[in-house]
């Protein structure tokens, strides 16, 4: 079914384009350092450490290396690879350039991460030409302006365009023709559905469902009984239906919290509790703004007024206190000089739209934290910010309100 939208008295076919940059971080590094081209390039943590891979070039992927893989495993598979640290500031600058370029083709551009975005070019055919021609021009324009390649999908809705852009990477272009959506989706493995990962794929396979076509033929009621509303959403998407609009969005540049102490402190427990309270506030403001952060920054001002900042770029954007606090706590351990601290602060940047509603998440890895966060947000919205707090923060000077502790405290 090809969705249509009304424009005046006429019916206009929706035309949605999804642009996904190819191996973005690694490609930027190869562009800036041509001697790296053709080599297996892995961007991420120090291979001698315990972090993960952020992006791997296509040459590195031949060794089975992929994003989120432990960096130690990547090094075991490819010890001769080129291992580079994440340069979040540089990737953000290139991303801004690409997003501004996309706005030349449509005012309806919705970035969903640094390296991908949706465009709605519905009704622009008389100005720009057919959607497939627009997609070709976008690819050419990106290559000319940035010397990078993008894979592009064109379809009647976001879901189909997203799957199409991933179909022939790298440098691909796939058009899902009107009326052939079901034919396009049917043979694809269920893991290509948004939000279907290893655990949920196993659940579906146990039900005898291995392809999107089989998922579409499964009774909606059965999926609802098994997975709740998520199961119903999967059934709808499996039929190629998705009426969500492309929503232009501009993120705030950063969100932060800091505190100057009445007297300088060396007490690491106090500094840790202060950071936890700040991480809580920053995470809450992220959720309120419907954004997630890619970069976490610690700010310290010492007794001699010397001020430093240390940052860490995350593999997966977050709006959760636990993840923000974990990163900033590690930064504090490495940044501590033994000097008394006058001011301490947490900020997050490289913000991207909160795309959780777009990802029909059957994973349960984050579910507990996110359910607790939503519940706390609701309680605080109804009864005030001081109504509920983590046990570690009881008696904190940050708000000065009596509060009830909640479970799941990870402040110590």
Instruction: Give the phi and the psi of residue 292 in degrees, each rounded to 5.
Output: -130, 150
Indicate the pairing of strand 254-265 with strand 41-44: unpaired
Q: How far is CA 243 from CA 237, 329, 399, in A?
A: 10, 42, 43
Q: Which two tokens stand for residue 22?
A: 């190819």
Q: Which residues pair with 117 in a beta bridge?
A: 19, 111
Q: Is 44 helix (H, G, I), strand (E, B) or coil?
A: strand
Task: Give the integer Cα–Cα distance in Å for 156 and 182.
Answer: 12
DSSP state, 305? Answer: -
Q: Is there a contact between 316 and 353 (Cβ–Cβ < 8 Å)? A: no
Task: Give the integer Cα–Cα distance in Å for 296 and 254.
Answer: 10
Task: Give the integer Cα–Cα distance in Å for 389 and 191.
Answer: 38
Q: In sequence order, what E strands does 123-186 have?
A: 150-155, 173-175
Q: Is there a contact between 98 and 21 (Cβ–Cβ < 8 Å)? A: yes
Q: Is there a contact between 236 and 350 (Cβ–Cβ < 8 Å)? A: no
Q: Sign of the CA dihedral 308, 313, 314, 319?
A: positive
From 116, 181, 280, 327, active-site residue: 116
- In the chain, the N- to C-terminal Cα span, in Å, equals 53
Task: Give the integer Cα–Cα distance in Å for 75 and 42.
Answer: 9
Query: Which residue reads 């005012």 in tokens?
Result: 107
Of the candidates 329, 258, 370, 399, the residue with the CA atom closest to the CA atom of residue 388: 399
Task: Give the integer Cα–Cα distance in Å for 233 and 356.
Answer: 14
Task: Give the integer Cα–Cα distance in Å for 300 and 292.
Answer: 23
- The answer to whether residue 110 is catalytic is no
Other C-beta atoms within 10 Å of 362: how many? 20
Other C-beta atoms within 10 Å of 302: how many? 16
CB-based contacts of 402, cutoff 8 Å, min separation 6 = 386
Instruction: Give the phi and the psi of residue 35 in degrees, each rounded to 5.
Output: -65, -15
Residues that are catalytic: 116
């Amino acid at each position: 079914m090809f969705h249509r939208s009304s424009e005046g008295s006429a019916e206009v076919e929706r035309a949605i384009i999804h642009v996904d940059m190819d191996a973005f971080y690694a490609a930027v590094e190869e562009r800036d350092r041509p001697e790296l081209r053709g080599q297996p390039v892995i961007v991420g943590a120090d291979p001698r450490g315990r972090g993960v891979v952020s992006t791997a070039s296509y040459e590195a992927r031949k060794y089975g290396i992929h994003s989120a893989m432990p960096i130690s495993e990547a090094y075991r598979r490819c010890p001769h690879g080129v291992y580079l640290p994440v340069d979040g500031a540089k990737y953000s600058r290139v991303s801004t350039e690409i997003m501004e370029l996309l706005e030349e083709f449509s005012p309806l551009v919705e970035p969903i991460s640094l390296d991908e975005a949706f465009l709605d070019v519905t009704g622009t055919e008389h100005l720009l030409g057919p959607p497939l021609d627009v997609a070709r021009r976008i690819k050419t324009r990106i290559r000319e302006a940035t010397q990078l390649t993008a894979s592009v999908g064109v379809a009647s809705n976001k879901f189909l365009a997203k799957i199409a852009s991933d179909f022939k990477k790298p440098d691909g272009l796939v058009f899902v023709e009107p009326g052939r959506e079901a034919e396009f989706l049917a043979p694809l493995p269920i893991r290509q559905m948004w939000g279907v990962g290893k655990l949920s794929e196993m659940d579906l396979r146990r039900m005898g469902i291995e392809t999107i076509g089989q998922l579409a033929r499964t009774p909606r009621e059965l999926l609802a009984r098994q997975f709740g509303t998520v199961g119903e959403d999967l059934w709808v998407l499996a039929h190629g239906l998705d009426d969500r609009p492309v929503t232009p969005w501009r993120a705030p540049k950063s969100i932060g919290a800091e505190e100057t102490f009445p007297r300088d402190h060396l007490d690491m427990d106090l500094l840790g509790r202060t950071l936890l309270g700040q991480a809580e506030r920053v995470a809450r403001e992220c959720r309120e703004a419907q954004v997630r952060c890619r970069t976490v920054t610690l700010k310290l001002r010492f007794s001699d007024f010397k001020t430093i900042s240390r940052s860490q770029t995350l593999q997966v954007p977050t709006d959760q206190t636990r993840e923000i606090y974990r990163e900033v706590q590690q930064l504090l351990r490495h940044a501590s000089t033994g000097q008394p601290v006058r001011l301490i602060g947490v900020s997050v940047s490289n913000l991207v739209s909160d795309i959780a509603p777009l990802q029909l998440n059957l994973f349960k890895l984050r579910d507990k934290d996110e359910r607790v966060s939503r519940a706390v947000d609701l309680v605080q919205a109804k009864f005030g910010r001081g109504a509920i707090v983590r046990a570690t923060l009881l008696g904190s000077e940050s708000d000065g309100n009596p509060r009830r502790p909640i479970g799941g405290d990870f402040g110590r």
